[in-house]
Amino acid sequence: MEKYILITGASSGLGKAAAKKLAQEGYKIFAGVRRQEDKEQLESLNPNISAIFLDVTDDESVEKAFETVLQKTNEIFALINNAGIALGGPVEYLPVEMLQKQFDVNVFGAIRVAQRFLPLMNGKDNRILNISSMASYGVFPFVSPYCASKRALDMFFNSLLVECKNPNLKIISVKPGVVSTPIWNKSVDACEKTFENVSQDCRNKYEKELLFLAQNARNNTQKGLKAEDIANLISKILSSKNPKLSYNAGKDSVFARFLSYLPQRVCNFLVKNGLKYRLKK
């Protein structure tokens, strides 16, 4: 029996790697994209990939994607909520519009898609995989929008799991550490554009930290796990009869989980002084 999987944010990075890996294994993939060139490129990778236009922040786009999927199947084996952005900056000066954008993509977008496609997930074994982050443990300064959105994503979907009347629906959170993907450069570009007109007071207080964090983020495009590593983990989760509720990927993700177990005061002390040490190097 053919198994269909919907992946949001599949034009690059983790989503693209997952689409390629799962298509090679015989799954039928609906890969969410927003540009024609990405659609053509993805579909050229494997005949099992059908790229569909999907903007998770737009109700009409989600509805059109749903109708497209219905033309081929009335059951989705798995939904992989991968679409996401990473925004940041000092809380003291964060534009509310930036926070709204962060949550609209990472949280409300995932909920919007899940709500629409849940009617197609009433089989004997269906799964929702959320690509969360080690940031969901909330121990990273100056990226609070991203941390908060990933924590909220996990909380909303854990509530869905508890509330859901379908006993065969499994919901899994995948929490990678740093992964070498384009999200870092895109995120820094977006943040720099937002803060290019910030007050001098903000620059005086936080310029050194923001420059360091921007450079560190850009460096992440060349280090950490590969997107294919996460794609392999996703494949194992989908084939597991009894997957765990949460998976850490990478030593840094495991360390972040450990930090989250500490008393908040101790955790704050370690993170704050760790940042000070790195700024002095």
Whole-angstrom Cα distance, residue 240 to residue 161? 18
Q: Give the pLDDT confidence score for residue 88 in this predicted structure.
A: 82
Helix (H), strand (E), coil (C) string for 65-127 = HHHHHHCCCCCCCEEEECCCCCCCCCHHHCCHHHHHHHHHHHHHHHHHHHHHHHHHCCCCCEE
Segment holding 226, helix H or strand E: strand 225-226
- Relative orientation angle of helices 59-70 and 109-117, to the nearest 10 degrees: 30
Considering only 5-9, 158-162, 221-225, 257-261, which range has the smallest mean pLDDT? 221-225
Residue whose tokens read 């983990």:
233
The domains of the chain are located at 4-280
pLDDT at 111 > cutoff 80:
yes
Catalytic choice (146, 187, 206, 247): 146
pLDDT at position 99: 92
Q: Are 8 and 53 in contact (CB under 8 A)?
A: no
Residues in the chain: 281
pLDDT tens by residue, 197-236: 666 777 788 878 877 777 776 666 667 789 999 999 999 9
pTM for the structure as a whole: 0.91
Phi/psi of residue 85, nearest 5 degrees = -130, 160
pLDDT at 185: 61
Pick the range with the lowest mean pLDDT from 65-69, 154-158, 191-195, 226-230: 191-195
Active-site annotation holds for 93: no
Between CA 132 and CA 160 the distance in angstroms is 16
Question: Looking at the domain that runs over 4-280, which CATH code has it been given?
Answer: 3.40.50.720
C-alpha to C-alpha distance for 187 and 140, rounded to whole angstroms: 15
4 catalytic residue (yes or no) = no
Instruction: State whether the Cα torsion 100-69-182-255 is positive or negative.
Output: positive
Token reading at 227: 């997107």
Q: How confident is the model at residue 179 (pLDDT cuts 50, 70, 90)?
A: confident
Of the listed 61, 132, 149, 187, which one is catalytic?
Answer: 132
Active site residue 137: no
